[in-house]
A and B are shown apart, each in its own frame.
Chain A
């Protein structure tokens, strides 16, 4: 027992060391975003933001484009998450609860679509969006993103759907609930963690994507956050990269994701505390 606690101590140190190393780039962004460029240009790095200020953030907001880009990114991302989850849930329901002709091909197709290289499709995606008038359109981008995340979401969700025994639902119906009621009251709560997990995936994909957005969102006021950030970095690099400013801008893109994670984490925990999902 004593030996175990000693080695646990060693492992704890290792775990914390690993955590520090892994979070370092994130910390570096955080740290630098508060420091003035003159300090950052030094050949000796400054590891703590003492004497820092919010000037960089003020300057980031000063260009006024951040809020617009945030709005577009939030709209596109949240719509993508909502639509993809709903549609993928139906698809997952189909393949885990029903046996039908083409089921295997459908599953196979969901896998293969993930293997399509996206880099060769930009031109065609542009042409398609342009011909239906969805260029520079939140709806158009959402459609492309939704299609890109659905296959994996179905794949992920079907495991969760399959994990909720249909018998539970049927038992509920025996107790006098309608099919819909049974589903809403019994199955759905059990699926919550799965939906959250898949939602996180969809959220990250849509939030991070920038090559498709670059091609189909050509107008300045329709830029998503990654495009805004990239433009910000490029504009800064043409004279002399202002790292403090660029890091502050990066922070602004990362913070919404971190907030989203925090919200979702608590929701997911409560879902698990409910204790229903235990294999």
Chain B
């Protein structure tokens, strides 16, 4: 699903993160039983029922010449790796790939950084301020994507937007400035929106992690003369590293496949071909231009790239499972 901002809420206990910590793996019963098979069967059935055909279709189609004609019944022809070689030799693909990776790294990095700072802030301030901040996060988080995008598009509107009005107020010549026209500012706006939507999840998760750090330890460290930064660096960071790494991984996965936000921004303005990321590129190529073979090939490549990016993490995770 393309939508953003899913996640565990504030008081989520830290056990979620234990998956990746060095703490001992869960109590595992070493008995031979058919029970686990019955337990995972419903999951497998649903996943195969819903995803089996689409994923299979995508893999097969990526090796076919499959355009609108084929969609309307002409028999598709197998072309081997033609779709892949065409893509890999198309400079445009590499541009979009590079752009997507950059966007994904920036968005995920900034989101986790801001989320971390907000979590520290929540820990630092009194109950009332914390609640205000939490409610604000929850509101942003609860905004449905389509509704949020509608508001944002209006906020950055070149004639009526609050953004330009504010900037003009502060003495910038922003009146009538169109932020979506230039790819660079288009992505800046997109980045702000994506970060805005994702920070609540990250901040609340990290905060949940922080609440598990005992006050005594921090106070003891303070007594020993550790500064605030030092306490964060040497005590807090190691303890919440697992949470950080999980939210970072999830943000990387989600931000690489960001679709809805970019699509709706493109609908509002901007030059589609210069503002495509992988998600919108696949959409435009497939449903838009009717080249489903190539679109499927991009999807498969994108999957491989995501796996490659997260490989290090996935491997360490799998090691813990042993």
A25 touches B9 (CB 8 A): no
A159 touches B286 (CB 8 A): no
| Stretch from B74-82, B87-95, B150-158, B230-238 contacting the other chain | B150-158
Question: Given the complex of chains A and B, what is the CA–CA distance between A160 and B143 in angstroms?
Answer: 27
Partner of B147 from the list A12, A143, A253 (CB cut-off 8 Å) is A253
Nearest B residue to A12, CB-CB: B129
User: Which chain A residues (69-110) contact chain B, with CB distance < 8 Å?
Assistant: 83, 86-88, 90-91, 93-100, 103-104, 106-108
With A163-B13, A200-B9 already in contact, the answer to whether A28 and B151 are too (CB < 8 A) is yes
Contacts of B47 in A (CB 8 A): 113, 147, 150-151
Q: Within 8 Å of chain A (Cβ to Cβ): is B266?
A: no
Most buried by A among B25, B30, B36, B287: B36
| Stretch from A51-59, A60-68, A180-188, A223-231 contacting the other chain | A223-231
Nearest A residue to B14, CB-CB: A279
A111 touches B314 (CB 8 A): yes
With A25-B151, A26-B139 already in contact, the answer to whether A15 and B122 are too (CB < 8 A) is yes
Most buried by B among A88, A121, A233: A121
A19 touches B132 (CB 8 A): yes
Q: Within 8 Å of chain A (Cβ to Cβ): is B137?
A: yes
Partner of B19 from the list A26, A114, A159 (CB cut-off 8 Å) is A159
Q: Within 8 Å of chain B (Cβ to Cβ): is A137?
A: no
Question: Given the complex of chains A and B, what is the CA–CA distance between A205 and B36 in angstroms?
Answer: 27
B151 touches A29 (CB 8 A): yes
A interface bracket (residues with beta carbon within 8 Å of B) = 35 or more
Q: Within 8 Å of chain B (Cβ to Cβ): is A221?
A: no
Query: A-side binding surface: helix, strand, loop or mixed?
Result: helix
Contacts of A211 in B (CB 8 A): 2, 259-260, 263
Q: Within 8 Å of chain B (Cβ to Cβ): is A238?
A: no
Q: Within 8 Å of chain A (Cβ to Cβ): is B22?
A: no
Contacts of A113 in B (CB 8 A): 47, 51
Contacts of B248 in A (CB 8 A): none
Binary B-proximity of A2-25 (CB < 8 A = 1, otherwise 0): 000000100110111011101101
Binary A-proximity of B1-36 (CB < 8 A = 1, otherwise 0): 111011111011111111100000111111101011
With A90-B42, A113-B47, A160-B15 already in contact, the answer to whether A247 and B151 are too (CB < 8 A) is yes
Question: Given the complex of chains A and B, what is the CA–CA distance between A233 and B42 in angstroms?
Answer: 39
Q: Within 8 Å of chain B (Cβ to Cβ): is A173?
A: no
Contacts of B223 in A (CB 8 A): none
Contacts of A269 in B (CB 8 A): 11
Contacts of A204 in B (CB 8 A): 3, 5-7, 141-142
A118 touches B51 (CB 8 A): no
A91 touches B1 (CB 8 A): no
Query: B-side binding surface: helix, strand, loop or mixed?
Result: helix
A120 touches B53 (CB 8 A): no
Contacts of B25 in A (CB 8 A): 162
Number of interface residues of B (CB under 8 A): 109
Binary B-proximity of A190-210 (CB < 8 A = 1, otherwise 0): 000110111011001101111
Contacts of A83 in B (CB 8 A): 46
Q: Within 8 Å of chain B (Cβ to Cβ): is A119?
A: yes
B8 touches A23 (CB 8 A): no
A26 touches B314 (CB 8 A): no
Nearest A residue to B299, CB-CB: A120
Contacts of B65 in A (CB 8 A): none
Question: Given the complex of chains A and B, what is the CA–CA distance between A158 and B246 in angstroms?
Answer: 14
Question: Given the complex of chains A and B, what is the CA–CA distance between A29 and B61 in angstroms?
Answer: 43
Contacts of B17 in A (CB 8 A): 159
Contacts of A212 in B (CB 8 A): 1
Q: Within 8 Å of chain B (Cβ to Cβ): is A124?
A: yes
Question: Given the complex of chains A and B, what is the CA–CA distance between A201 and B154 in angstroms?
Answer: 27
Binary B-proximity of A106-140 (CB < 8 A = 1, otherwise 0): 11100111111111111111011000000000000
Q: Within 8 Å of chain A (Cβ to Cβ): is B84?
A: no
Most buried by B among A94, A100, A111, A158: A100
A146 touches B279 (CB 8 A): no
Contacts of A264 in B (CB 8 A): 9
Partner of A246 from the list B49, B150, B318 (CB cut-off 8 Å) is B150
B8 touches A198 (CB 8 A): yes
In the complex, how many angstroms separate the beta carbon of A214 from the nearest chain B beta carbon?
A: 10
A226 touches B144 (CB 8 A): yes
Question: Given the complex of chains A and B, what is the CA–CA distance between A8 and B128 in angstroms?
Answer: 12
Question: Given the complex of chains A and B, what is the CA–CA distance between A28 and B51 in angstroms?
Answer: 39
User: Which chain B residues (112-158) contact chain A, with CB distance < 8 Å?
Assistant: 118, 121-122, 124-126, 129-130, 132-133, 135-148, 150-152, 154-155
In the complex, how many angstroms separate the beta carbon of A139 from the nearest chain B beta carbon?
A: 11
In the complex, how many angstroms separate the beta carbon of A273 from the nearest chain B beta carbon?
A: 10
Partner of B36 from the list A98, A166, A246 (CB cut-off 8 Å) is A98
10 intermolecular pairs with C-beta atoms under 8 Å apart: A8-B126, A15-B130, A25-B196, A94-B40, A99-B30, A118-B257, A122-B286, A197-B8, A197-B9, A250-B146
* A interface with B by C-beta (< 8 Å): 8, 11-12, 14-16, 18-20, 22-23, 25-26, 28-29, 32, 40-41, 43-45, 83, 86-88, 90-91, 93-100, 103-104, 106-108, 111-125, 127-128, 143-152, 154-156, 158-163, 165-167, 193-194, 196-198, 200-201, 204-205, 207-212, 225-226, 229-230, 233, 243, 246-247, 250-251, 253-254, 257-258, 260-261, 264-265, 268-269, 272, 277, 279
